[in-house]
Amino acid sequence: MLNLSYFVPSKRHQMKFQDYQYQRPEMVDFTSRFESLLSEFEQAGSFALQNDCFSRVNEMRTEFMSMYNICYIRHTVDTEDKFYEAENSFFDREMPSYEGLNTKFYKLLLESKFRKELEEKWGSQLFTIAELSLKTFKPAILEDMQEENRLSSEYVKLKASARIDYKGKEHNLSSIFVEETGPDRASRAAASTAKWAFFESNAASFDSIFNMLVKTRHGIARKLGFENFIELGYARMLRSDYNAEMVARFREQIREYVVPLATSLYERQRKRLGIEKLKFYDEEFRFASGNPTPKGDPKWIIQNANEMYTELSGETKEFFRFMQENQLMDLETKPSKATGGYCTYIGKFKAPYIFSNFNGTSGDIDVLTHEAGHAFQVYASRDIGINEYNWPTYEACEIHSMSMEFFTWPWMNLFFETDTNKYKFAHLSNAICFLPYGVAVDEFQHFVYENPDASPKERNQAWKTIEHKYLPHRDYDGNQYLESGGFWQKQSHIYASPFYYIDYTLAQICAFQFWLKDQKNHKQAWADYLRLCQAGGSLSFLELVNLADLSSPFEDESIASVVKDIKTWLDSIDDSDF
């Protein structure tokens, strides 16, 4: 295991994000210098010399990825900015070449005559990452990877282009959600119809992009010697201690233990709303009195978040002050801004960055605490010293984010005031109801890549079958596009991050455990969480779960046990009061 006590915290960079200088990497020069360092690494006659080369390679990679992330942030903040659109296209083209250089480095690392010493210094997880990464690249797939990147960006831009006219006002896919969750049922239905009309009118484009993505990915997998993209997808996700069979069993446990609870929660919702049949456009409208909402504007939310993180711990106080002082958050929705929310990390400045689309719903608080969990983790582990350990694998990353949502529960009154209990009930219910959808997305992706020649119609039929299995309550009220199985096209991960979705469900089971631990002993729960965050990506998923003193989601009865405690809490709440 990596000795984290070896690393001495470095001085924090104090510079506002707007002042971060972007410079496109000059690939010919970068490649020449990188390969020269690799040659020096290979020929080094001592561990000290080789480790010095390692550090200089890491500095080059940090610089390259920092420029990429600055570009990515500025491009997603304004997808119509022509300069950063061109720079994003540059990285779409050149990232595969960069990954090729990284692959050469990993090969030399694994073959190093000083491997034992390197492994003792940097930990075995680096070598696990190297071994998996070597399976995912050969020069022969370079152009295919460029095409994959281009298509993913095309999908992002297509969604960002949405201009939805509703009641004389123009909306994007973020802002229309407010109208979809309003108190008037007819308006909710109309807003949903308007949103899905955008997807239906662009269905051919969505299908075309996805067709090309699937064929490109299948082709890459075949060139690398895989039967199909599934095993390659797992290797890309750096999954070293579980496989597709374990995931399938996990999905079955969700079907057995969670789907009945989720179905009962939808039935409770139907009764609260006083309607005969819950339709798809009712699902996000939880209470007849209205969904809980933040009681102030984005500036007010951040002020209260500052109070929350100041009181939560000394570590979160320092972290959130750093984020504010350096303007490392872009939170409000606006025209031409990409949809969704994310956190990324700019290694050159040891700076996390939070991106979201506030729209006046409780989701503003969810996304803030969720992405702050990611940001806090990478801030807590910023001094480990190598790029591979900035983040753990994705399912471990999501433990940090989802658990932070629960660690901040004691401060939800700052945002929701009299709606605080309503918010907590909704938040926990939503987390349960998400799990069946999360595993449905995963099962659908397995179908897609097991059947790369399936037609759009066959894919939609597969989604319908899987959706009915995990979401048996769902009623699309005759919407032809959704009835035909088009719902999945809204899910960005399916297009841009294949197999990145089961991660949320695995992490949610772990986050539930932190929620339970926090109620019993906050001091111990926070200590376990902080230890997990500080470890960064220095261990595999199940090793990190063990480090945090959590039960593996793959263990028999792990899900059943957690769900039982959650059901007891939910059953103790009289939601008719809401």
* Measured CA distances, 342 to 134, 173, 467, 479, 505 (Å): 27, 16, 26, 31, 17
- With 80 as the cut, is the pLDDT of residue 296 above it? yes
- Mean pLDDT score, 453-478: 98
Residue 156 lies in a domain: no
Q: By C-alpha distance, which of 421, 429, 394 is closest to 541?
A: 394
Same domain as 340, residue 250 = no
Same domain as 440, residue 425 = no
* Measured CA distances, 334 to 118, 228, 352, 468, 577 (Å): 47, 40, 22, 35, 36
Task: Report the distance separating Cα 548 and Cα 254, nearest Å.
Answer: 23
Angle made by CA atoms 193, 194, 196, in degrees to the nearest 5:
65
- With 60 as the cut, is the pLDDT of residue 372 above it? yes
pLDDT of amino acid 78: 95
- Mean pLDDT score, 465-471: 98
- With 50 as the cut, is the pLDDT of residue 1 above it? no
* Domain total of the chain: 3
Residue 198 lies in a domain: yes
Residue 501 lies in a domain: no
- With 50 as the cut, is the pLDDT of residue 145 above it? yes
Helix (H) or strand (E) holding 356: strand 351-358
Residue 446, phi then psi, degrees to nearest 5: -65, -40
- Mean pLDDT score, 10-26: 86
Could you read off the pLDDT of 413-434 as tens digits, one per residue?
Answer: 999 999 999 999 999 999 999 9
pLDDT of amino acid 12: 55
What is the band of 251 on the pLDDT scale with cuts at 50, 70, 90?
very high
pLDDT of amino acid 199: 97
Same domain as 130, residue 45 = yes
Same domain as 98, residue 28 = yes
Task: Report the distance separating Cα 99 and Cα 81, nearest Å.
Answer: 26
pLDDT of amino acid 577: 84
Query: 506 is written with which tokens?
Result: 């695995």
- Mean pLDDT score, 543-551: 98
CA 123 to chain centre: 25
Same domain as 325, residue 465 = no
What is the band of 166 on the pLDDT scale with cuts at 50, 70, 90?
very high
- Mean pLDDT score, 475-482: 97
Same domain as 75, residue 14 = yes
Could you read off the pLDDT of 148-162 as tens digits, one per residue?
Answer: 999 999 999 999 999
- Mean pLDDT score, 10-18: 76
pLDDT of amino acid 11: 52
What is the band of 7 on the pLDDT scale with cuts at 50, 70, 90?
very low
Same domain as 379, residue 513 = yes
Could you read off the pLDDT of 302-333 as tens digits, one per residue?
Answer: 999 999 999 999 999 999 999 999 999 999 98
Could you read off the pLDDT of 181-206 as tens digits, one per residue?
Answer: 999 999 999 999 999 999 999 999 99
What is the band of 13 on the pLDDT scale with cuts at 50, 70, 90?
low
Rounded to 10°, the helix 394-407/522-534 angle is: 150
Same domain as 118, residue 10 = yes
- With 70 as the cut, is the pLDDT of residue 446 above it? yes
Same domain as 217, residue 319 = no
Same domain as 94, residue 197 = no
Residue 235: give the domain boundaries. Answer: 181-290+434-496
Three-state SS string across 362-385, please?
A: CHHHHHHHHHHHHHHHHHHCCCCC
Which of 360-364, 396-400, 448-452 shows the lowest mean pLDDT across its residues? 360-364
Could you read off the pLDDT of 110-136 as tens digits, one per residue?
Answer: 999 999 999 999 999 999 999 999 999
Same domain as 360, residue 260 = no
What is the band of 9 on the pLDDT scale with cuts at 50, 70, 90?
very low
Same domain as 204, residue 86 = no
Residue 223 lies in a domain: yes
Burial class (CB in 10 A: 0-12, 13-18, 19+), 167: exposed
Query: How is residue 337 annotated by DSSP?
Result: P
Residue positions counted in the chain: 578
- With 80 as the cut, is the pLDDT of residue 109 above it? yes
- Mean pLDDT score, 6-27: 78
- With 60 as the cut, is the pLDDT of residue 501 above it? yes
Burial annotation 264-276 (CB, 10 A radius, 16+ → b, else e) = ebbebbbebeeee
pLDDT of amino acid 6: 35
